[in-house]
A and B are shown apart, each in its own frame.
Chain A
Amino acid sequence: DTAVSQTPKYLVTQMGNDKSIKCEQNLGHDTMYWYKQDSKKFLKIMFSYNNKELIINETVPNRFSPKSPDKAHLNLHINSLELGDSAVYFCASSQDYGTWGLPSGNTIYFGEGSWLTVV
C-alpha cells in the first residue's frame, strides 16, 4: 500500500481552468503538507495542516485553496490556472509538526507527485 498517494499523477489543462489534486495518507499521521517543485527542481512548502487545521500558509496566491476533510486527506484546489502554476505538486505527511518554535526531527513522507502543465 502506498503511504501517501495523490491523484492525478499527470494533469494537462488550459489557462483559466480550475483543477483539484487529491491526497490521502494511510500512515495515521496528524500533519499533512503541500510542497511545490518548480522547473528548476526547487522545493518550497505551500501549506501544512495539523489534524484538519491550517498551520502554515506560505504566502500562496488565493487561487490555491487547500481543504482537509479529515486528517488523512488534504486536497489542493487551484482556480483560474496560470502558466506559472506549471510545476510538480507534492503531498506529504509527518507524525506531527513537533513543538511550535522548535525544529522538528519528524520524517516527512512524500507522495509520488502530481505533474501539472498549464497550456
Chain B
Amino acid sequence: AQSVTQLGSHVSVSEGALVLLRCNYSSSVPPYLFWYVQYPNQGLQLLLKYTTGATLVKGINGFEAEFKKSETSFHLTKPSAHMSDAAEYFCAVSDPINTGKLIFGQGTTLQVKP
C-alpha cells in the first residue's frame, strides 16, 4: 500500500536560509509524487509533481524537489526562504489502486523568521 511520511511536523528557518522539507514514500509501483502548499485559511495549491522523466523537478515560487528511488525520498527545497513561504506543506503520492486518489503525508508547517 502507498504511504507518505513527512519528517518534522514543524520546520523553522530564517529568512534567506535554505528550506528543506523531507518526504519519504512507500509504494508498490513506481510512484507519482506531489508537493502541495496550503496558506492560512486557503485551499491547496500544487507546487510541483514528479511522474516520469527528470528526477529533479522545478516548481513554482523557486521550489524544487528531487526524486530519489534508492532512498524512497522526494524532499522539497528552496535555496532562500522568504517570509511569504510560511505555510503548511503536504507531500502526496498517487494511489494506483484507487486511481485519482492522493494519499497525503501529515504535513509540515514552515515558519520563516525575520
List the interface of chain A (C-beta within 8 A of B): 4, 31, 33, 40-45, 48, 50, 55-56, 58, 90, 92, 94, 96-113, 115
Task: Give chain B's interface residue range (CB within 8 Å of chain A).
Answer: 20 to 34
Q: Which residue of B lies closest to A94 (CB)?
A: B100
| Chain A residues with CB below 8 A from B34, complex form | 107
List the interface of chain B (C-beta within 8 A of A): 29-32, 34, 36, 41-46, 49, 51-52, 88, 90, 93-102, 104, 106-107
With A42-B106, A102-B96 already in contact, the answer to whether A90 and B44 are too (CB < 8 A) is yes
17 pairs of residues in contact across A and B, judged by CB atoms under 8 Å: A41-B88, A42-B104, A43-B44, A43-B107, A56-B100, A90-B43, A98-B94, A101-B97, A101-B99, A102-B29, A102-B96, A103-B95, A103-B99, A104-B32, A104-B99, A105-B49, A105-B94
Give complex CA distance A113, B95 in Å: 23
How far apart are B14's CB and chain A's nearest CB, in angstroms? 24
Q: Are A112 and B43 in contact (CB under 8 A)?
A: yes
Q: Are B49 and A107 in contact (CB under 8 A)?
A: yes
